[in-house]
């Protein structure tokens, strides 16, 4: 093997006495890390005759890939749908704070807003790697404004839009730029949505179906044109009906193109979805389930009044409503809470619960070769958890970026 001095001189860290989530199973193995990547120990021993420079005893912790949140509207007093002069410091604060909840990468999400907000905010979102400064940014998730009035949920009606003559050009004019955009949620029953879905997909942007009154055949057509995700399943869509199951029917549709998988987000906070509905979805299509927080600015703050884009919301315990109504508006649950609730509600394995917050979102975004697994050569973004799935430490690129202090354990 040709010697590669720059690689072999980098320190090698060996995490011992742990159970690693690899190949869908917790395996009692050591984890080897060098230069921010997960190392194959066999190559190290046999090809390089190398060994560890540092050994860390994990005290029987579970080591799992870092969580990836593809729908988060803000948190800790920061609202991603508000155009402010210090937007960058707000996004930095959220990316720092979510490390303690095991999130190592995320998609900052904007709810339906006027074009001026997109034009001001999107240029301030840059795709970046995570580190001690905070979780990595994978690109923005734009939820709206091309959604159904009937299923607008917490989105302001006066900002909703439809596709006019030049459908894709309308979308570009509304958003201003797609440079940092990773996901767009739209209602597939809208006229001309097919051409928009095709254009977005062509640019590598994930199209998600949501806030919609689409029937099953409209949803299937959208998938055939390239849509791959469902935004918060069951919420803001027609309820399941046995003669036309609507978007929910995609979970068991036989019209999905060969080799394609439809993923669906679920807010597993015990409020947005009854545990029985969570179990139905999981049993129908376990490999498509992606846990999302749909967290709003009030996550991590005391109950009271906060914002979600153009609206005022009230937090009462774990419930969040548009002020003065009983319309649910996002969540204040953290990702680690969602993982624990999902496991408890479905009775699924620890491995399944952890993969719903890591492997599945990575597969949805097509980054599973780098994130969402602990395979050799993937990014060393991982968590140490105890058996109750409480996060004890968070690592990005092999560096510890957060640890539970001894008092809080």
Catalytic residue list:
294
Tokens 């602990």 correspond to 374
Give me 356's structure tokens: 């719903």
Q: Is residue 272 part of an annotated ligand binding site? A: yes
Q: Is residue 17 part of an annotated ligand binding site? A: no
How far apart CA 365 and CA 359 sit, in angstroms, is 10
Question: CB count, 10 Å around CB of 409?
Answer: 9
Q: Is residue 129 part of an annotated ligand binding site? A: no
SS3 304: strand
Q: Is residue 164 part of an annotated ligand binding site? A: no
Q: Quick check: 400 and 104 in contact, CB under 8 A?
A: no
Q: How far is CA 122 from the centre of its chain?
A: 18
Q: Is residue 143 part of an annotated ligand binding site? A: yes
Alpha-carbon torsion 355, 361, 366, 372, what sign?
negative
Environment class of 306 (CB within 10 Å of its CB; exposed 0-12, middle 13-18, buried 19+): buried
How far apart CA 259 and CA 284 sit, in angstroms, is 18
Q: Is residue 154 part of an annotated ligand binding site? A: yes
Q: Is residue 235 part of an annotated ligand binding site? A: yes
Q: Is residue 105 part of an annotated ligand binding site? A: no
- How far CA 374 is from CA of 37, 40, 339, 378, in Å, comes to 9, 11, 18, 6
Q: Is residue 377 part of an annotated ligand binding site? A: no
Please count the residues of the chain.
409
Can you say which residues are annotated as belonging to the binding site? 143, 154, 211, 232, 235-236, 243, 272, 328-330
Indicate the annotated binding residues for substrate.
154, 235-236, 243, 272, 328-330
């Amino acid at each position: 093997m040709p010697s590669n001095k720059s690689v072999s001189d980098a320190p090698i860290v060996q995490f011992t006495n742990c159970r690693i989530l690899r190949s869908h199973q917790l395996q009692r193995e050591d984890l080897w890390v060098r230069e921010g990547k997960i190392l194959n120990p066999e190559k190290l021993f046999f090809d390089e005759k190398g060994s560890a420079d540092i050994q860390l005893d994990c005290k029987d912790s579970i080591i799992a890939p870092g969580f990836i949140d593809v729908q988060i509207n803000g948190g800790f007093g920061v609202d991603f749908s508000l155009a402010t002069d210090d937007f960058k410091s707000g996004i930095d604060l959220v990316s720092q704070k979510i490390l303690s909840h095991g999130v190592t990468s995320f998609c900052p999400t904007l709810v339906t807003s006027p074009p001026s907000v997109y034009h001001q905010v999107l240029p301030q979102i840059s795709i970046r790697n995570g580190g001690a400064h905070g979780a990595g940014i994978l690109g923005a998730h734009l939820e709206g404004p091309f959604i159904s009035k009937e299923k607008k949920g917490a989105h302001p009606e006066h900002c909703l839009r439809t596709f006019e003559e030049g459908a894709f050009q309308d979308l570009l004019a509304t958003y201003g730029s797609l440079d940092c955009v990773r996901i767009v949620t739209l209602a597939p029953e809208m006229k001309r949505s097919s051409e928009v879905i095709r254009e977005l997909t062509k640019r590598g942007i994930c199209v998600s179906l949501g806030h919609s009154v689409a029937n099953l055949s409209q949803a299937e057509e959208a998938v055939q044109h390239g849509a791959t995700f469902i935004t918060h399943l069951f919420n803001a869509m027609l309820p399941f009906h046995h003669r036309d199951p609507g978007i929910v029917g995609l979970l068991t549709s036989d019209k999905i193109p060969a080799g394609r998988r439809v993923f669906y987000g679920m807010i597993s906070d015990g409020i947005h979805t009854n545990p029985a509905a969570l179990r139905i979805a999981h049993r129908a299509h376990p490999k498509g389930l992606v846990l999302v927080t749909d967290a709003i600015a009030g996550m991590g703050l005391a109950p009271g009044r906060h914002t979600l884009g153009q609206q005022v919301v009230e937090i009462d315990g774990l419930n969040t409503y548009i002020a003065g109504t009983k319309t649910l508006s996002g969540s204040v649950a953290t990702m680690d809470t969602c993982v624990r609730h999902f496991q408890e509600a479905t009775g699924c394995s620890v491995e399944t619960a952890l993969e719903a917050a890591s492997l599945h979102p990575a597969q949805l975004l097509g980054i599973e070769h780098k994130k969402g697994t602990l395979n050799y050569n993937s990014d060393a973004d991982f968590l140490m958890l105890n058996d109750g799935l409480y996060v004890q430490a968070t690592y990005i690129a092999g560096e510890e970026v957060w640890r539970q202090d001894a008092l809080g354990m």
